[in-house]
């Protein structure tokens, strides 16, 4: 491939999405980064201003297949076919299962798992045409080591790992790799309402005694999306400072 890579990052205004977008823009001077945004976009707009012509806003509601089609058409028209998809957008809505509403269950499944299906399906068309592509799905440590109160989120993220392994087998002969990362806690993106004492306690439990910096997760995503990561597919990488 001599073309610039065209990268779509969903949830690009969020903590990890923004850090990942910035990492690509800083470390691959040729790439075009499409910043998937829904409601909040202040940080994404700052990247557009800092990297004119290389960072572009891309309105995207990840649970809506028509929105994916519109996003892929925008990318094709503004730059060319998509080559890298980072399924990063997601959220958690914790509750004990006994008290979890059906809306809490299905909302989290929709955004964290069904949206990954929609995104992968939309991205496969241009990638298969190019016979090259990279898909990186942001799962979570909660998929591997599921805490109480996250049945919905843990199930969704575990589903992402299964989808990743299965899709990697389907696309292996097409030059398209599919991998997942499973971050533990990320600095600057901790669950709302955590007290200082709770934060200190979880850091004490973590052998590295700290949480991940967003750019440390972004660096792994960047590698998985690189041309060099050509034999790595179907993997799910745990990034947790040896917590588990």
Ligand X SMILES: NC(=O)c1ccc[n+]([C@@H]2O[C@H](COP(=O)([O-])OP(=O)(O)OC[C@H]3O[C@@H](n4cnc5c(N)ncnc54)[C@H](OP(=O)(O)O)[C@@H]3O)[C@@H](O)[C@H]2O)c1
To ligand X, the closest distance from the beta carbon of 70 in angstroms equals 13
User: Contact with ligand X (CB under 6 A): which of 89, 113, 122, 168?
Assistant: 89
3-class DSSP assignment, residue 66: helix
User: Contact with ligand X (CB under 6 A): which of 5, 7, 17, 116?
Assistant: 17
CB closer to ligand X out of 64 and 170? 64
Residues 48-67 vs ligand X: string with x where CB under 6 A?
A: ------------xxxx----
To ligand X, the closest distance from the beta carbon of 26 in angstroms equals 18
Segment contacting ligand X (CB under 6 A): 26-34, 87-95, 201-209, 230-238?
87-95
Residues in 179-208 that interact with ligand X by CB under 6 A: 183, 185-186, 189
Task: Answer positive or negative: Cα dihedral of 131, 70, 31, 87.
Answer: negative
User: Contact with ligand X (CB under 6 A): which of 1, 26, 40, 230?
Assistant: 40
Cα(119)–Cα(127) distance, integer angstroms: 12
Q: Specify the length of the chain in residues.
A: 244
Told to check if 43 binds ligand X by CB under 6 A, we report no
Phi-psi region of 112 (alpha: psi -120 to 50; beta: other; left: phi over 0): alpha
Instruction: Note whether 152 and 196 are within 8 A (CB).
Output: no
User: Contact with ligand X (CB under 6 A): which of 90, 119, 126, 133?
Assistant: 90
Active site residue 231: no
Token pair belonging to 63: 């649970």
Q: How far is CA 77 from CA 29, 63, 161, 236, in A?
A: 21, 22, 32, 33
Told to check if 237 binds ligand X by CB under 6 A, we report no
Told to check if 31 binds ligand X by CB under 6 A, we report no
Token pair belonging to 198: 């709770």
CB-based contacts of 128: which residues, under 8 Å, 6+ apart? 171, 174, 176
Q: How many CA atoms lie within 13 A of 220 on its CB side?
A: 21
Hey, which residues are catalytic here? 153
Residues found near ligand X in the complex (CB under 6 A): 10-11, 13-17, 38-40, 60-63, 88-91, 111, 138, 140, 183, 185-186, 189
């Amino acid at each position: 491939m001599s073309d610039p890579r065209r990268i779509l990052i969903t949830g690009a205004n969020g903590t990890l999405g923004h850090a990942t977008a910035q990492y690509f823009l800083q470390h691959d001077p040729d790439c075009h980064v499409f910043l998937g945004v829904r409601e909040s976009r202040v940080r994404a707009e700052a990247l557009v201003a800092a990297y004119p012509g290389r960072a572009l806003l891309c309105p995207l509601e990840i649970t809506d297949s028509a929105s994916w089609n519109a996003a892929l058409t925008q990318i094709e028209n503004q730059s060319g076919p998509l080559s890298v998809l980072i399924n990063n957008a997601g959220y958690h809505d914790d509750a004990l299962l006994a008290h979890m509403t059906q809306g809490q269950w299905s909302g989290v499944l929709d955004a964290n798992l069904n949206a990954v299906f929609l995104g992968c399906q939309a991205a496969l068309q241009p990638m298969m045409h190019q016979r090259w592509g990279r898909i990186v799905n942001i799962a979570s440590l909660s998929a591997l080591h599921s805490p109480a109160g996250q049945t919905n989120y843990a199930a969704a993220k575990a589903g992402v790992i299964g989808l990743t392994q299965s899709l990697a087998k389907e696309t292996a002969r097409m030059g398209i790799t599919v991998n997942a990362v499973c971050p533990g806690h990320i600095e600057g993106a901790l669950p709302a309402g955590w007290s200082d004492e709770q934060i200190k306690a979880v850091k004490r439990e973590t052998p590295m005694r700290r949480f991940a910096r967003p750019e440390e997760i972004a660096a792994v995503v960047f590698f998985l999306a690189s041309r060099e990561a050509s034999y790595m597919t179907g993997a799910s990488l745990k990034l947790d400072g040896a917590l588990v």
